[in-house]
Amino acid sequence: MFVVNVEGAIHRNGKWLLILRSANEEHAGGSLSLVGGKCEIEGDSSNILERTLKREILEEVGCEVTDLRYVNSSSFVTESGINVVDIVFLCHHKSGEPYAKSNEEVDKVIWMTTSEILAHTDLPVYLKENVKLADKFLQENLNTI
C-alpha cells in the first residue's frame, strides 16, 4: 500500500549532512536531501525503521549513527504514482567520515548550516521543513543528545 522511507538528519559541528542525489534516482534525482532509503519487506521484525536508517546511511555515505530520535513523518506521492510514508530521525554521528560511497545513489555529500539550508532558493520545502524541525528538536534537547 505504501513505501516506507526513513531519513536521517545528521548534525555535526553546526552543520547538517545533505547528499546530492544521483541524477539516476527515480525520486528527486539530482536534488539535495537527507540521507535515507526504503524499508525492505522483512516479515515479523522489530526496530525496522531504525535498522533500515542505520543500514542506508552506512551504505550511502559510509558512516555510523546512533541515538536516533523521531522528528516527524509525512506522506507524498512520487512522480510515478507511488505512495510514500516518510519518517525523519535526528541522528548522532558515531563514526566514519561521510563520503559519496554509493555512486548509484549519491553524487556528493555537502555540509550546510540550518540558515544556509533555509536561505537556499533551490531546495524543496519539505527538506527545509524537516531541517527546521530537526534543528528545533536539537536545540530543545542539547543536553540529552
Q: Which pLDDT score, from 0 to 100, does residue 98 have?
A: 97
Rounded to 5°, the CA angle 42-46-52 comes to 65
Q: Class of 3-140 per CATH?
A: alpha beta
Is residue 8 within 8 Å of 91, Cβ to Cβ? yes
Q: Is the pLDDT of residue 31 over 90?
A: no
Q: Say if pTM beats, i.e. exceeds, 0.85.
A: yes
The domain limits of the chain are 3-140
Q: Is the pLDDT of residue 72 over 90?
A: yes
Is residue 4 within 8 Å of 87, Cβ to Cβ? yes
Q: Which pLDDT score, from 0 to 100, does residue 25 have?
A: 59
If you average pLDDT over residues 70-89, what whole number do you get? 94
87-123, pLDDT tens digit by residue?
A: 999 999 999 999 999 888 889 999 999 999 999 998 9
pLDDT-derived band at 23 (thresholds 50, 70, 90) equals: low
The half-sphere exposure of 141 on its side-chain side, counting CA atoms within 13 A, is 16
| Sole residue written with cell 549519491 | 106
